[in-house]
């Protein structure tokens, strides 16, 4: 049995924000956390998420979008929603501490600004995760 705390990141599409959060936390503190991500309406990994994560040396290309329904029978210590619609549609996970971090949807940025917005959101998630890890000691 693992002593790692279990974390589920949840957004609507499980295509960008929750995928980046999953990979970042695994990279930052995978020895302390078992990390998953899912979407309320999964739609596939966004190629820009793959690109901006690769820029910082993290390969998310093998990750896939998952449906939150597939996790309903799992136990988590934290369920972290990363967008407002997911917060509103998040099922109850008994025993899990619900946390909400609202990040902009980088996929909704205009094509000419999309890479910059993906980078900004990635960096915002990284900052928030750094604070989370420090606080969760």
> Would you please indicate which residues are annotated as catalytic (active-site) residues?
11, 83, 90
| Cα–Cα distance measured from residue 103 to residue 42, given in angstroms and rounded to the nearest whole number | 17
Q: 4 and 135 in contact (C-beta within 8 Å)? A: no
HSE, CB side, 13 Å, CA atoms: give it for residue 53.
26
Closest C-alpha to 95, from 10, 8, 2, 25: 8
């Amino acid at each position: 049995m693992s002593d790692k705390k279990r974390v589920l990141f949840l957004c609507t599409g499980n295509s960008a924000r929750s995928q980046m959060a999953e990979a970042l936390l695994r990279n930052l503190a995978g020895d302390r956390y078992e990390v998953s991500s899912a979407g309320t309406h999964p739609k596939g990994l966004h190629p820009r998420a793959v690109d901006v994560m690769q820029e910082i040396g993290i390969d998310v290309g093998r990750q896939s979008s998952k449906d939150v329904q597939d996790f309903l029978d799992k136990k988590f210590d934290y369920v972290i929603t990363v967008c407002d619609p997911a917060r509103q549609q998040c099922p109850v996970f008994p025993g899990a501490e619900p946390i909400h971090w609202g990040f902009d949807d980088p996929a909704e940025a205009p094509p000419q600004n999309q890479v910059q917005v993906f980078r900004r959101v990635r960096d915002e998630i990284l900052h928030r995760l750094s604070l989370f890890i420090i606080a969760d000691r």
